[in-house]
A and B are shown apart, each in its own frame.
Chain A
Amino acid sequence: METFLGIDYPTLWYLVVGLLFSGYAILEGFDYGAGAWHLFFKQDESRRIAIHAIGPLWDANQVWLIIGGGALFAGFPVMYATMLSTMYIPFMLFLILLVLRSASIKFRSAEKMLWWRKTWDIVYSASNVLIAFLLGVVLGNVLQGFEIGANYSYKGGIFFAFLSPYALMVGFTTLSIFMTQGAIFLLLKTEGKLHTRLTFLLKKGMLFFIVSFSITTLYTLIFIPGVTDNFKENPLFFIIPILSFLAVANVPRLVSKKKYFQALVFSSLTMAFLLMLVAFQLYPTLLISTIDPAYSITIYNAASSQKSLGIMLTIVLIGAPLLAAYFLFLYKTFNGKVELDDTSY
C-alpha cells in the first residue's frame, strides 16, 4: 500500500474527510446556531441583523458540507452509499430542511407583511434547530452502529430505530454546542440592545451545553462498549479528551472576560477536539455492524483505489490553499459589526 509521510492513503483521506467535517461543524455551526436563537430576538430589526450577520458568509460556509460529502463519496464510496441509503429518511429530512432554511433566508425580508415575516421566522428557526439536531442524531448512530449484514445490506427500522436515547442525547449536545457557537459569533457582529440580550442568551446556551455534554459523556463511557479501547492501546492519545475538556472549560472563562473572539476560537476548538475524539475512537472503522464485526465498513474495505486516492490527494493539495485564500478574503471583507443597507436581507 502506498504511503505519504509514512501514513497510508486511506488514513490520509480519513484525515481529509475529518478536517472537512470539522470545518463544516465550526463554520456552519455558528450559522445554524445563530438561526436556532432567531425566535429569541423580539424585534424585526434584531432579526434582520441576525440574518445579515451570516448573510454574506453562509453560502461559503456551506461549501464545507458540499466538499465533505464529495470527499466521502470520492474516497469511501462504500461508506457514502451505505450510510445514506441506510439512514434514508433522516437524510431526506436533513436535505429538505436545508432547502427550507435557504428559502427562509432569501424570502424572509422580501415582504413587509407581519404574517409573512413571522411565518418565515418560524421556518428559519425550526429548520436550523432540526438540522443541528439531526446531524447529532446521525453522529450518535454512527457511534452506536447499524444492523449491517452481508453485501452492506441494512435490515433495521427506517426511522424510529435511529432515535435511540443515546442518539437523541448526541442530538441535543450538537444543538447546544452550535447554539453556544452561534451566540458567540453574533456577539462579535452586533452592538447595543441586541448585544446585551445575547450576553444573557449565551449564558443559557452554555448551561444547556454543559449539562447535555456531561450526560452524553457519561452515557458514552458507561453504555457504548469498547469506546476506550483505542485509547488504552495508545495512551499518548489521552491528550485529545484532556484538550477537549480544557477547551470546553475555557469558553465560559473567556466569555466572562468579554473576550468573544478568543471564546469563538475555543468553542471552535472544542468541536474540533470532540470530532477528533470520535474519529480516533472509531478508527479504522467507519460504520460498525452490530450483527457481526466482519460486516463492519472500515476505511480499508470502503476506500477507492490507491490510484484514485493519490489523484484526489493531489487535487486537495492544489485546491486547499486556493480555498483558504478565498475564505480569508471573504472574512476580511465582512469583518466587523453588521450595518444594514439596501442590499441587506
Chain B
Amino acid sequence: MDVEILARIQFAFTIAFHYIYPPLSIGIGLIMVIMEGLYLKTGKKEYELLTKFWLKIFAIIFGIGVATGIIMEFEFGTNWAVYSRYVGDIFGSALAAEGLFAFGLESTFLGILIFGWNRVSPKVHFISTIGVFLGSMFSAVWIVVANSWQQTPAGYHIVGEGFFARAEVTDFWAMVFNPSSVDRIIHVWQGAFLAGAFMVLSVHAYYIRKGKFVEISKIAFKIALVVATVVSFTQLISGHSSAAGVAVNQPAKLAAMEGHYDISAPADLYLFGWVDNEKQEVTGLGLPGGLSFLVHQDFKEPITGLNAFPEEDRPGQVNAVFQFYHIMVSIGMFLIAISFYACFLWWRGKLFETKWLMWIFSFSVLLPQIANQAGWFAAEMGRQPWIVYGHLRTSEGFSQAVSANQILFSLILFLVVYSLLFVLFLYSLNKKIKHGPYDEKPQNQLKTS
C-alpha cells in the first residue's frame, strides 16, 4: 500500500476512535450540569447520587478522550506535513485558541470536579462542573471551525508558488465564521448531546428492566428523555440547514450523498439504496425530485450532478458517501420517533411499564454513536479528493519524509494499544454500571477503590 492510503487509514482510525469519547463528554457534561443544578436547588439526595455516579463514568470517558486527542494534534505534523505547512497560518490560530480558551478551562476544572468534593463548597463544585462542560463545548467550536475552513475556505488568500504556496489569513472573523462553520458547530454539539443523553437513557433503562435502582433511574431517565426529545427534533433543523449549505458550497458532495449524476436534472431523495458508480445508477426506494424539493422547495428544480465535475475533482467513493449519509439520517429519524413515543407514554403514565421500549432504550446508546461516526465519514469522504476544498488535494498533503513502512509500524501500534484501551474502557464502564449509583448492601462496602 502507498503512503497516502496508509496515512489516510491511520488518520481515519485514530480520529474515529477519538470521536467515541468527546461527544460523550459533552453530552454527559450537559446532563451532569442539569443533575447537579437540581441538587443545589432542591437538596435532594437522589440528584447528588446521580451526579456522583455519572461523574465517575464521565471521568473515564474524558480521560480517554484527552489521551487520544493529543495524538490528533501531533498527527497533522507527523503524517500531513505538506498540508500542515499549507494551512498552519489559518488552522494554527484556531488550534491555539482551542488550547488556551477551551482545553485550559476544562482540564484545570476537571481536577476539582473529580477530586474536589470535600475541598470546595457545593456552589464552587457546581461552577467547576459548568466550567468543564463549557470548556468541552468551546473545544468543539474551534475544532469544527478548523475543519469547516477546510470544507469551505474563507477569509484567506494564497501566497507563494508550487511547493511553497500556502493559505494566509486576511480576515480572522471571516475565517472563523466561514460559510459552513455555524451550521456544523450546532450539528456537532447536538450530536454530542444525543450521544450523552442516550447513554444515560440506556443505563437507566437497563436498571429499570432489571428492577435495580428503579426509583432513582426513573428520575434520571426523565431528565435525559427531555434532552433527547428536544435535541433529536432540533437536530433535524440543523441537519437540514447544514445540507442546504452543502448544496451551495460543495455541490459535488451533495450529489454524492444522494448518488445524483445528471449534470442538471431534478434530484431524488432516497430512503435507502445502492449506488453503482460504473453505471451511474441508484437502486433503491426514493422520492422523485425529493432532494430538489428540500433544497429549492420545488420538485422540478434541477440540482448539479456529479457529471458536472471532472472525474478528478469529485469524490471517488460515491456509494460509501451515500451509505454513511443515509445511515446518519435514518438513525436521526428513528431517535426522534422513539423519543416522542416515550414522551407520549410518559404522559399516559405507562412509560416504565412498556418493556419492549425499555429494551430498545437500553441498547440505544449505540445509535447516536453510529450516526456521529457515519456523519463524519460522509462529510470527510464527500470532501475528497480535496484536503482543502478546491485548493489542495489529499494526494498532495501527506508527509514526503515518511515511508509506508514507518506508517505501517505506527498503525499497528495504534491498533494494538487502542484495542487494549477499548477493552479496558468497556470493562470499567461495565463495572461501574454493575455497581450502580449507590451500594445496595452497605455492610459490604469496601474501603479501597
Instruction: Give the complex CA separation of A71 and B103 in angstroms.
Output: 14
Also in contact, A81 and B108, with CB within 8 A (given A63-B103, A73-B84, A102-B67): no
Minimum C-beta distance from A72 to chain B (A): 8
- From residue B390, how far is it (CB to closest CB) to chain A in Å? 20
Query: If A99-B71, A112-B448, A333-B116 touch, does A70 touch B96 (CB 8 Å cutoff)?
Result: yes
Whether, in the assembled complex, A329 has its beta carbon less than 8 Å from a beta carbon of chain B, the answer is yes
Pick the interface stretch among B162-170, B268-276, B291-299: B162-170
In the complex where A83-B77, A158-B406 touch, is A308 in contact with B90 (Cβ < 8 A)? yes
0/1 interface trace, chain A 66-91, chain B, CB 8 Å (1 if under) = 11011101111110111111101101
Tell me if A291 is interfacial: C-beta within 8 Å of chain B. Answer: no
In the complex, whether B115 has a CB less than 8 A from a CB of chain A is yes
B426 CB–A CB distance under 8 Å? no
Q: Which of A171-179, A212-220, A234-242, A319-327 contacts B (4 or more CB under 8 A)?
A: A319-327
Q: Beyond A69-B74, A330-B112, A341-B118, is A320–B100 a contact (Cβ under 8 Å)?
A: yes
CB nearest neighbor in A for B116:
A333
* Most chain B Cβ neighbours within 10 Å, of A89, A333, A344: A333
Which partner residue on chain B sits nearest A316 by CB separation?
Answer: B100
Q: How many A-B residue pairs have CB under 8 A?
A: 233
- Whether A319 touches B104, Cβ cut-off 8 Å, given contacts A66-B73, A333-B116, is yes
Instruction: Report the interface size class on chain A.
Output: 35 or more
**Cβ contacts B37-72/A at 8 Å (1 or 0 each):** 000000000000000000000011001101110110
Smallest CB-CB separation from A341: which chain B residue? Answer: B118
| Contact of A95 with B71 in the complex, beta carbons under 8 Å | yes
Q: Hey, what's the 0/1 contact readout for A98-131 against B, CB within 8 Å counting as 1?
A: 1110110111011010000000000000000000
Contact between B108 and A327 (Cβ–Cβ < 8 Å)?
Answer: yes
Shortest distance from the beta carbon of B87 to any chain A beta carbon, whole Å:
8
User: Among the listed A74, A107, A109, which residue makes an inter-chain contact with B88, where contact means beta carbons less than 8 Å apart?
Assistant: A74
User: In the complex, which residues 323-345 of chain A have their Cβ closer than 8 Å to any Cβ of chain B?
Assistant: 323, 326-327, 329-330, 333-334, 341-344
Cβ of A79 to closest chain B Cβ, rounded Å:
9
Chain A residues positioned under 8 Å from B281 (CB to CB): none
> A77–B81 Cα gap in the complex (Å)?
9
Q: Does A311 contact B (CB under 8 A)?
A: yes
CB distance from A334 to the nearest CB of B (A): 7
Asked whether B111 lies within 8 Å of A304 as measured between CB atoms, the reply is no
Question: Contact at B77–A80, with CB atoms within 8 Å?
Answer: yes
Jot down 10 A-B pairs with beta carbons below 8 A, ordered by A. Answer: A66-B73, A92-B78, A99-B71, A107-B424, A151-B163, A158-B403, A305-B159, A312-B92, A315-B97, A326-B108
A-side interface residues toward B, CB under 8 Å? 55-57, 59-60, 62-63, 65-67, 69-71, 73-78, 80-86, 88-89, 91-92, 95-96, 98-100, 102-103, 105-107, 109-110, 112, 151-154, 158, 304-305, 307-308, 311-312, 315-316, 319-320, 322-323, 326-327, 329-330, 333-334, 341-344
Q: Other than A95-B71, A95-B74, give 10 A-B pairs with Cβ distance below 8 A.
A: A59-B66, A62-B66, A81-B84, A84-B74, A85-B81, A98-B70, A98-B71, A316-B100, A319-B101, A334-B116
